[in-house]
């Protein structure tokens, strides 16, 4: 009899890695029955024809968001004290005192943090969250679904969603083994491990070391290095379109060479539009000197602001807008979901751009996978003022310490030097690709094309031992 695996999607971030790649097909080839346990508004059955069990009840306990924030603050406080490093303070979002309700919530949160700011306090808060979530109707709802469908194992596609807590507690109470995939390269030091699982799948040896460093309750035997399916589409030749076809489909002037500007969310880079303007000016200047280049602007998929509009309007001669193929299916940012078509779009943007520019994003790895360089903007904008976050702190984060050398990315530390760096890259005189590939291997692992295979192999080995 086939083993039934629930692929749990607490939110939309797991769709890209585990519904739109070949992940499902590889599991079916290994003779698993695969069912998506779907907490998102996206219907895998209607859109892709996949078996799914929909979670229609999305209500967490009203106090869970507060206690989750308390947990995160305490974990960061403990890390700051344990490792004597002030970087953990920068991972915290400011409290709100806007109105009586927010002020009372902030005061309550701070009291809880004050009384529990220790490793024992972390355990108390985690237990409190679990108690709250076990008391919800959603817990009972999910438990009934599990009792009805009887999966042999649950694979949770992200460790960072509070929406997953009650569902996984129900699985735990029914003795169903749980695997949690650590979703992103920066998640572990930022105290974003919301769920407690039996096993954790991580991208690389580096991430395994981090899990064991930050979470003493996790043992080495619980953590498996698998890689991530996130970059597998870059090696899928079926997604590639030749330059003429791709440019014609997207109404792009094929006579030009293009630089990709990969936009950031407003939190990470609040003045991002001005870096786009700087790049556009550099391109204009180089075109006056005989170059024939343009900019492909790919916005951050969850950025719904209009902050780029004036720049895009002023630089139509050099900027080509190529929006990600994501869909808005709700009002919130986490209800803007990826599509399968966007995997091909990103693949071809990387393949047909000369290089990428951005502020500190993991697109450095998307482009390195195509042997293309990356410029990281790392200078202040004159529009920076009190209350606006300086992008410089991004490069101080723990995950940037994984760089094998400063040459793993090209840092532009001055607006006046941007034009020269662009020209050098175009002339093949400047590149971060050799050291960037070393960084890619450190973060993503040694076999970026085999992540899906590795995940299923590890699931297989777990099921054989229980």
For 43-74, the pLDDT digits (tens) are 999 999 999 999 999 999 999 999 999 999 99
Mean pLDDT of 225-231: 98
Structure tokens of 381?
């904008």
Q: In the prediction, which pLDDT does 384 show?
A: 87
SS (H, E, C) 78-127: HHHHHHCCHHHHHHCCCCCCCCHHHHHHHHHHHHHHHHHCCHHHHHHHHH
Taking only the tens place, the pLDDT of each residue in 298-332 is 999 999 899 999 999 999 999 999 999 998 876 66
Q: Is 158 exposed, middle or buried (0-12, 13-18, 19+ CB in 10 A)?
A: buried
What pLDDT sits at residue 331? Answer: 64
Distance between CA 272 and CA 262 in Å, rounded? 10
How far is it, in rounded angstroms, from Cα 170 to Cα 149? 13
CA atoms within 13 A on the CB side of 154: 34
Rounded Cα distance between 277 and 286, Å, is 14
State the CB neighbour count (10 A cutoff) for residue 383. 10
Six-digit token pair at 413? 């530390």
Q: What is the pLDDT of residue 419?
A: 98
**What's the pLDDT at 428?**
98
Protein fold of 3-60+136-227+450-465: Rossmann fold (3.40.50)
What pLDDT is attached to residue 451? 98
Q: Taken in order 286, 287, 292, 294, is the CA torsion positive or negative?
A: positive
Per-residue pLDDT, 349 = 98
**pLDDT for res 387:** 79
Comparing 10-14, 141-145, 149-153, 197-201, the range with the smallest average pLDDT is: 10-14
Domain 232-444 has CATH 3.40.50.2000: yes
Q: Which two tokens stand for residue 88?
A: 């953990």
Closest CA to 17 of 169, 182, 164: 182
The residues, any chain, with a CB within 8 Å of residue 22's CB and separated by 6 or more, are: 232, 236, 452
Degrees, nearest 5: CA angle 452-457-463: 130
Give the per-residue pLDDT at 199: 98
Average pLDDT over residues 274-290: 98
Tell me if 255 sits within 8 A of 292, measured CB to CB: yes
- Does pLDDT of 335 surpass 80? no
User: Residue 455 corresponds to which tokens in the numbers above?
Assistant: 């995940």
Report d(CA 374, CA 368) in Å as an integer.
8
**If you average pLDDT over residues 323-343, what whole number do you get?**
83
Specify the pLDDT at position 333.
Answer: 62
3-class DSSP string for 371-407? CCCEEEECCCCCCCCCCCCCHHHHHHCHHHHHCCCHH
Domain boundaries, the chain: 3-60+136-227+450-465, 64-131, 232-444
In this structure, are residues 147 and 166 in contact, taking their beta carbons and an 8 Å threshold? no
Predicted local confidence at residue 229, as pLDDT: 97
Per-residue pLDDT tens for 379-426?
999 998 887 888 999 999 999 999 999 999 999 999 999 999 999 999
Same CATH topology for 3-60+136-227+450-465 and 232-444? yes
pLDDT at residue 26, as a whole number: 97
Q: pTM value?
A: 0.95
β partners of residue 340: none
Is residue 81 scored above 90 in pLDDT? yes
For 156, the enclosing helix (H) or strand (E) is strand 153-156
The per-residue pLDDT for 334 is: 64
Q: What is the mean pLDDT of the chain?
A: 96
Residue % of the chain over a pLDDT of 90:
94
10 Å Cβ neighbour count for 456?
Answer: 21
């Amino acid at each position: 009899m086939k083993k039934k695996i629930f692929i749990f999607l607490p939110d939309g971030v797991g769709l890209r890695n585990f519904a739109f790649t070949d992940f499902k097909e590889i599991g079916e080839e290994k003779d698993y029955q695969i069912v998506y346990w779907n907490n998102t508004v996206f219907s895998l059955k209607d859109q892709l024809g996949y078996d799914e069990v929909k979670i229609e009840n999305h209500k967490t306990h009203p106090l869970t968001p507060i206690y989750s924030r308390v947990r995160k603050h305490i974990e960061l406080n403990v890390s700051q004290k344990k490792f004597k490093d002030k970087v953990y303070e920068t991972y915290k979002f400011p409290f709100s005192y806007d109105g009586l309700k927010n002020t009372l919530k902030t005061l309550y949160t701070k009291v809880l943090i004050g009384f529990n700011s220790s490793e024992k306090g972390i355990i108390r808060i985690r237990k409190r969250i679990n108690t709250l979530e076990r008391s919800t109707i959603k817990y009972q709802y999910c438990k009934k679904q599990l009792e009805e469908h009887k999966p042999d194992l649950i694979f949770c596609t992200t460790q960072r969603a509070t929406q997953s807590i009650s569902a996984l507690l129900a699985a735990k109470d029914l003795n169903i083994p749980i695997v949690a995939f650590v979703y992103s390269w920066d998640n572990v030091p930022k105290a974003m491990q919301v769920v407690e699982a039996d096993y954790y799948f991580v991208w690389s040896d580096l991430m395994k070391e981090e899990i064991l460093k930050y979470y003493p309750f996790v043992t080495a035997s619980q953590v498996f290095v698998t890689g991530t399916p996130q970059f597998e589409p870059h090696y899928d030749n079926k997604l590639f379109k030749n330059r003429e076809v791709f440019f014609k489909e997207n109404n792009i002037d094929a006579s030009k060479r293009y630089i990709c500007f990969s936009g950031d969310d407003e939190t990470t880079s609040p003045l991002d539009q001005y870096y786009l303007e700087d790049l556009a000016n550099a391109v204009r200047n180089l075109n006056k000197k005989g170059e024939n280049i343009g900019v492909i602007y790919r916005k951050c998929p969850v950025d719904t602001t209009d902050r780029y509009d004036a720049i895009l309007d002023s630089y139509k001669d050099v900027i080509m807008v190529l929006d990600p193929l994501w869909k808005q299916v709700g009002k919130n940012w986490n209800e803007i979901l990826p599509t399968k078509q966007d995997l091909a779009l990103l693949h071809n943007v990387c393949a047909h751009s000369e290089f990428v520019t951005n502020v500190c994003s993991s697109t450095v790895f998307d482009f390195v996978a195509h042997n293309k360089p990356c410029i990281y903007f790392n200078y202040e904008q004159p529009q920076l003022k009190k209350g606006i976050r300086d992008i410089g702190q991004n490069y101080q984060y723990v995950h940037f310490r994984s760089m094998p050398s400063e040459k793993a990315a090209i840092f532009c530390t001055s607006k006046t030097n941007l034009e020269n760096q662009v020209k050098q890259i175009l002339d093949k005189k400047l590149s971060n690709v050799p050291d960037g590939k070393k960084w890619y291997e450190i973060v993503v692992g040694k076999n970026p094309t085999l992540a899906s295979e590795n995940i299923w192999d590890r699931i297989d080995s777990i099921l054989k031992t229980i």
